[in-house]
């Protein structure tokens, strides 16, 4: 029975390693995984195949523990990524990998480690602790996401309130005792008719990678002869469209699943020569098809009257964000390192207790 279990165990582990090699190649070829991550997983899978054909086949004890760690790392990493990115299409392939790995570890445990009860108890407790950590993660993620959303809305509300107070002070000026003056509609229409036709350039990449920063630039020019595409740093294809241009233009780039960092003031002056540029650094926070929104506002100033603004049509761009396993794992560890440390320490303590009891039983 022991020889048969050992043979079945290393065969299942060998199949798991070969399966991981094939799946890493397919994942890279289909764009589901970047090349570096695919190479790392393939190297781990090759190591699993080599140990299975050598020491694991000879029932060396160190090989069992080594394969337990080597096999757990990629499977746990991919599982964490699936949970974090809400991936559901490839769950079947992941379950096949888990089944092959668990069978390859559990079946020869009695032959390699001795008593079947203790190895399975240790393995079961390790799985229970890990399952508890993942369950806590599943419970905390929606709450954390909702907390971040509420915090973002609160910051936006404070920003709008501060801007409103500033505008009120600008309108009031030193004549705060006078009632506010309302601009006649015909004056407003005349001022907006004076807006000159111009062009806007926007160069977001059609494809981005999760967690990888991209440079995005926006340029606005009054003159048709301005070379808007000269000296662009972003790798996205420039898109140029017509737009009404005034002296004071405000540009804002947003996206629900993007971290957008602006390097320029939102509101700038557009002169008659050349172009005015806005620079952004965009980092995707979620894989899949995401939306970037570019809002452009023109501001006019009329003497002795409050300022008036006119929003141009919003520019929407669909961005395909490729998954990034390393980024998902890193973000998971940064956010939930305490659960991982608890799992590792708990598993070490339980393993030490089992080893001490086993040593004492041998002395008796």
What is the full DSSP assignment across 265-292? -SEEE--SSSEEEEEEEEEE-S-EEEEE
In a domain, residue 171? The reply is no
9 and 129 part of one domain: yes
Whether residues 20 and 44 share a domain: the answer is yes
What is the percent of the chain with per-residue pLDDT over 70, rounded to a whole number? 65
Q: Do residues 23 and 16 touch, judged by C-beta distance below 8 A?
A: no
Q: How far apart are the first and last CA of the chain?
A: 27
Is the same domain home to 316 and 331?
A: no
What is the per-residue pLDDT for 214? 92
Phi-psi region of 337 (alpha: psi -120 to 50; beta: other; left: phi over 0): alpha
Whether 10 and 72 share a structural domain? yes
Q: Is the pTM of this model over 0.85?
A: no
- The answer to whether residue 152 is domain-embedded is no
Looking at the fold, whether 130 and 8 belong to one and the same domain comes out as yes
What b/e readout covers 22-55, taking b as 16+ CB neighbours within 10 angstroms? ebbeebbeeebbbeebbebbbebbeebbebbeeb
* Mean pLDDT rounded to a whole number for the chain: 76
The pLDDT tens digits for 72-103 are 777 776 776 666 555 556 667 778 888 888 88
**194 and 71 both lie in a single domain:** no
Does 318 lie in the same domain as 330? no
> Which tens digit of pLDDT belongs to each residue from 304-333?
655 667 777 778 899 999 888 888 777 777
pLDDT at 263 over 70: yes
Return the pLDDT at 144: 46
Whether 178 maps to a domain, the answer reads: no
- CATH number, residue 315: 2.60.40.10
Residue 54 forms part of a structural domain: yes
pLDDT grade, residue 339 (50/70/90)? low
Length of the chain: 364
Residue of 103, 61, 106, 97 lying closest to 76 (CA atoms): 97
User: What confidence score (pLDDT) does residue 174 get?
Assistant: 46
Range of the domain at 42: 2-144+325-363
- Give the model's pLDDT for residue 278: 93
- Same domain for 134 and 248: no
Residues 131 and 203 both lie in one domain: no
What distance in Å separates the CA atoms of residue 249 and residue 256, rounded to the nearest whole number? 23
pLDDT number for residue 116: 47
What values do phi and psi take at 293, rounded to 5? -120, 130
Segment 215-245, tens digit of pLDDT:
999 999 987 666 888 888 888 888 888 888 8
pLDDT at 215: 93
Same domain, 31 and 109: yes
Span 261-278, average pLDDT: 88
In a domain, residue 127? The reply is yes
Q: Are 321 and 273 in contact (CB under 8 A)?
A: no
Task: Provide the pLDDT confidence category of residue 170 given band limits of 50, 70 and 90.
Answer: low
Strand order from edge to edge, sheet including 196-202: 239-245, 196-202, 214-221, 275-284, 258-262
Least confident range from 183-187, 224-228, 344-348: namely 183-187
User: Rounded to whole angstroms, how far apart are CA atoms 225 and 1?
Assistant: 84
Report the percentage of the chain scoring pLDDT > 90.
Answer: 13
Side-chain-facing half-sphere of 57: CA atoms under 13 Å: 9
Of the two residues 134 and 100, the one the predictor is more confident about is: 100
For residue 291, being part of any structural domain is answered with: yes
pLDDT-based confidence at residue 136 (cuts at 50, 70, 90)? very low
Give the model confidence (pLDDT) of 32-79 as tens digits. 667 777 788 888 888 888 888 888 888 888 888 888 877 877 777 677
173 located within any domain: no
* CA diameter of the chain: 102
Specify the higher pLDDT residue, 354 or 247: 247
pLDDT of the residue at 152? 60
Is residue 161 situated within a structural domain?
no
Please, are residues 282 and 258 in contact by the beta-carbon 8 Å criterion?
yes
Q: Identify the pLDDT of residue 208.
A: 92
Q: Are residues 192 and 306 in the same domain?
A: yes
Q: Decide which of 87 and 361 is more confident.
A: 361
- Counting the structural domains of the chain, the total is 2
CA–CA gap between residue 152 and residue 76 (Å, rounded):
31
| Residues 107, 235 within the same domain | no
């Amino acid at each position: 029975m022991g020889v048969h279990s050992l043979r079945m165990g290393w065969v299942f582990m060998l199949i798991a390693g070969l399966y991981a090699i094939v799946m890493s190649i397919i994942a890279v070829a289909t764009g589901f995984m970047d090349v570096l991550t695919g190479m790392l997983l393939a190297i781990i899978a090759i190591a699993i195949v080599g140990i299975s054909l050598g020491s694991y086949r000879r029932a060396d004890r160190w090989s069992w523990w080594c394969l337990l760690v080597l096999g757990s790392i990629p499977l746990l990493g991919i599982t964490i990524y699936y949970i974090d990115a809400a991936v559901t299409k490839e769950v079947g392939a992941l379950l096949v990998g888990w089944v092959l790995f668990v069978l390859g570890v559990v079946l020869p445990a009695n032959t390699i480690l001795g008593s079947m009860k203790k190895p399975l108890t240790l393995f079961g407790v390790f799985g229970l602790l890990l399952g508890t950590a993942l369950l806590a993660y599943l419970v905390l993620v929606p709450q954390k996401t909702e907390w971040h959303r509420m915090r973002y809305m609160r910051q936006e509300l404070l920003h709008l309130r501060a801007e409103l107070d500033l505008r009120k002070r600008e309108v009031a000026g030193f004549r705060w005792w006078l009632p506010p003056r309302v601009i006649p509609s015909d004056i407003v229409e005349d001022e907006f008719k004076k807006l000159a036709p111009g062009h806007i350039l926007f160069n977001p990449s059609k494809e981005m990678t999760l967690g990888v920063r991209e440079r995005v630039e926006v340029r606005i020019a009054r003159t048709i002869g301005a070379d808007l595409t000269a000296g662009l740093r972003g790798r996205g294809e420039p898109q140029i469209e017509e737009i009404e241009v005034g002296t004071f233009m405000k540009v804002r780039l947003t996206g629900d699943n993007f971290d957008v960092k602006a390097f320029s003031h939102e509101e700038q002056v557009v002169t008659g020569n050349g172009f005015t540029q806005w620079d952004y650094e965009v980092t995707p926070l979620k894989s899949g098809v995401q939306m970037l929104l570019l809002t452009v506002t023109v501001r006019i100033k009329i003497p002795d009257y409050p300022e008036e603004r006119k929003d141009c049509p919003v520019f929407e761009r669909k961005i395909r964000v490729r998954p990034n396993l390393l980024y998902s794992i890193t973000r998971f560890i940064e956010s939930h390192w305490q659960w991982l440390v608890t799992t590792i320490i708990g598993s070490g303590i339980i393993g030490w207790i089992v080893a001490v009891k086993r040593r004492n039983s041998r002395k008796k």
